[in-house]
Amino acid sequence: MSNWVETTAKTVDLAIEQALETLGVGVDDVIIEVIEEGEAGGLLGFGRKPARVRVSLADEEVSEQTMPSDEHAAEIDEEDEPEEEDLDRYGAVTPELEDAALDYVQAIMQGLNIHGRIGSYIGEDGSLNIEVTGKDCGPAIGHHGETLDAIAYLTGLAVNRKADKRVRVSLDIGGYRQRREKKIREMVERQVDRVESSGKPSRLKPMTAAERRIVHLALKGRHGVITYSQGVDPERYVVIAPADGDA
């Protein structure tokens, strides 16, 4: 008997099941290579592609070359997102860029098995806003919005590779950002009260660039206080200070 089999079936799990049966072993005794993940296909299964796997007995050395860790190769060329203070140097969002962004987010949603609705609009400041709504968005939001931040960040990078001039892309999923923005604004108002009554600056908790921007914009032109950011991401935070201080 050979030490591996290749099987195809409707799904990866079914293909694995088949292979295990053929080999007569349990899932813990094998290494599985997923060759094709398969696609469900559309109505009536048209366009369906089967899943294909190769299952090998674990004691056999498979060509699973462990690759070098990536932490070394980090000098990089391209712009990462700029600080929130330089708000004005952005390009216009073309329909092509908008489509590219929507396609990218949509494909990731699909990969996370989220079947919400997706829409986009150009904001007053010229930024591209993408919104995903639907019931089961949780997996795409993640703990403290970490997954949402990751998707938003990579979407910005993917889109800006196609852009002549950098565009700002923001993403909301399941209303998370909206809820978060409301909370931040309420917190900012409380802190402004504190700063005004005590005359001392107040440090906020570390926030992402997008969230710091909410604070800066909320207090832009506000009498009596100024805002600035300090520290290094991901620990960078906003300070709200009295305007007549050392500004």
Residue 211 is a binding residue for other proteins (CB under 8 A): no
Residue 61 is a binding residue for other proteins (CB under 8 A): no
Among 66, 165, 197, 246, indicate the residue that binds other proteins (CB under 8 A). 66
Instruction: Tell me the torsion sign for CA atoms 210, 216, 219, 225.
Output: positive
Coil, helix or strand at residue 191: helix
Residue 80 is a binding residue for other proteins (CB under 8 A): yes
Contact string (CB under 8 A) for other proteins, positions 104-143, x = contact = x--xx--xxx-------------------------xx-x-
CB of 177 vs other proteins, minimal distance in Å: 17
Which residue do the tokens 């079914």 mark?
14
CB of 105 vs other proteins, minimal distance in Å: 10
- In sequence order, what DSSP letters do the residues of 61-85 get, joined into one string? --S-PPPPPSTT-----S--PPPTT
**Are 226 and 241 in contact, with CB atoms under 8 Å apart?**
yes
Among 5, 97, 100, 225, indicate the residue that binds other proteins (CB under 8 A). 100
Which residue's CB is nearer to other proteins, number 26 or number 95? 26
Residue 73 is a binding residue for other proteins (CB under 8 A): yes
Query: Please, how many CA atoms are within 13 Å of residue 117, restricted to the half-sphere of its CB?
Result: 4
Listed residue (181, 102, 101, 174) closest to 133, CA to CA: 174
Contact string (CB under 8 A) for other proteins, positions 144-163, x = contact = --xx-xxx-xx--xx--x--
Residue 24 is a binding residue for other proteins (CB under 8 A): no
Contacts of 168 (CB under 8 A, 6+ apart): 90, 125, 126, 127, 128, 156
Amino acid at the residue 131 = E
Number of residues counted as binding other proteins (CB under 8 A): 46
CB of 110 vs other proteins, minimal distance in Å: 8
- In sequence order, what DSSP letters do the residues of 194-220 get, joined into one string? HHHHH-S-EEPPP--HHHHHHHHHHHT
Residue 40 is a binding residue for other proteins (CB under 8 A): no
In the complex, which residues of this chain contact other proteins (CB under 8 A)?
Answer: 16, 27-28, 30-34, 37, 58, 62, 64-71, 73-78, 80, 100, 104, 107-108, 111-113, 139-140, 142, 146-147, 149-151, 153-154, 157-158, 161
